[in-house]
Amino acid sequence: MKRIVKCFGALAFLLISGTKSFAQEDSTYAQKLGYPKDAKVVILHVDDVGMSFDSNEGAINAITQGVANSCSVMMPCSWVPAFVHYLKQHPQIDAGLHLTLTSEWKEYRWPPVAGVKAVPGLVDQEGALWPSVEEVVKHASADEVEMEIRAQVEKALKMGFLPTHLDSHMGTLFGSLPFIQRYLKVGMEYKIPVMFPAGHASLIQVHNKLDPQLVQGIRLLGKQLWASGLPVLDDLYNASYGWEPDAITAADTKKLQAFKTAHYIEALKEIKPGLTMIIMHCTQPSPIFKNISESGPTRQGDLLAMIDPALKKALEDQRIVLVTWRELMERRKGR
């Protein structure tokens, strides 16, 4: 459920009749920001911060004790204030907004920030956000989506939390073309970088089996983001949530760490030169986390991988350049 949904097909509608195709540029967005041509520039990004106490602990530990260097916060959730308080004491942490339009767990739910009456199409019979991307696309209007994501940005700003970037929980904002347009519109208006892989998009093409013409549409939008003064990703790696350990591995911390670390090391080999964001869900699961989700082992595995010296060594051996969204925006302002 945490994957960026395979809805990039909506971008087909961007290819208006008569639009001429164009070749991919030789330079990457990383190069445009001043990085060497062959550099693998990577953001190791933790999703779902603020969702629970356990999520907060996992993100903090992955960043302060490990190699993760960015995260994003789910503003409708209950543990957001605790993380924002921590951010104010540690302002160097790169933290954005995990724009949230779904509430996917059965027993632990959250309503929209804008209020149930303001965005009725985003709300199910329990008064919470819909559980799935498909239900949001079916019931919510683009106006309601924009109202809600603006409310989440404004809530963060009112709390004294200036997000370094915007991204999308469960990929919901990639679920339809109108949603994508509002997502990019809000980012450009607030001058906040937006997670949007619009460079060579090598992994996105493979993992989502995209038609080359659709990739052209993605790149067209990337050009708009860049022209607005925002940095743009070349690619996105979002496979880690699918690396599920078997029961024996999940029950043994050392085996779990080795399992997840090996996957991340292989992922580093797979990415191409350019600017790539790698998504994970680092969590330090307490005994009650199983009452929220059964995903505790894979989330704990992400955390264990980030603090594994073997992964740090792999980053050094492969000469990976780690970068934050804050640093990217600083570079973009200088271009």
Q: What's the confidence (pLDDT) of residue 18?
A: 38
Q: What's the confidence (pLDDT) of residue 24?
A: 57
Q: What's the confidence (pLDDT) of residue 210?
A: 74
Percentage with pLDDT > 90 across the chain: 86
Q: Which residues of the chain have pLDDT under 50?
A: 1-6, 9-10, 12-22
List beta partners, residue 276. 42, 235
Q: Which two tokens stand for residue 79?
A: 């543990």
Whole-prediction pTM value? 0.94
Average pLDDT of the chain is: 92
Q: What's the confidence (pLDDT) of residue 3?
A: 45
Q: What's the confidence (pLDDT) of residue 8?
A: 54
Per-residue pLDDT tens for 294-325?
999 999 999 999 999 999 999 999 999 999 99
- Kindly write down the DSSP assignment for every residue of 105-128, as one continuous string: -SS-----TT-TTT-GGGB-TTSS
Q: What is the C-alpha separation between 302 and 319, in angstroms, rounded?
A: 21
Per-residue pLDDT tens for 162-218?
999 999 999 999 999 999 999 999 999 999 999 999 999 998 888 877 777 778 888
Q: Which residues of 17-35 are buried (b: 16+ CB within 10 A; e: fewer)?
A: eeeeeeeeeeebbbbbbeb
Q: What's the confidence (pLDDT) of residue 211?
A: 77
Q: What's the confidence (pLDDT) of residue 48?
A: 98
Q: What is the C-alpha separation between 305 and 319, in angstroms, rounded?
A: 18
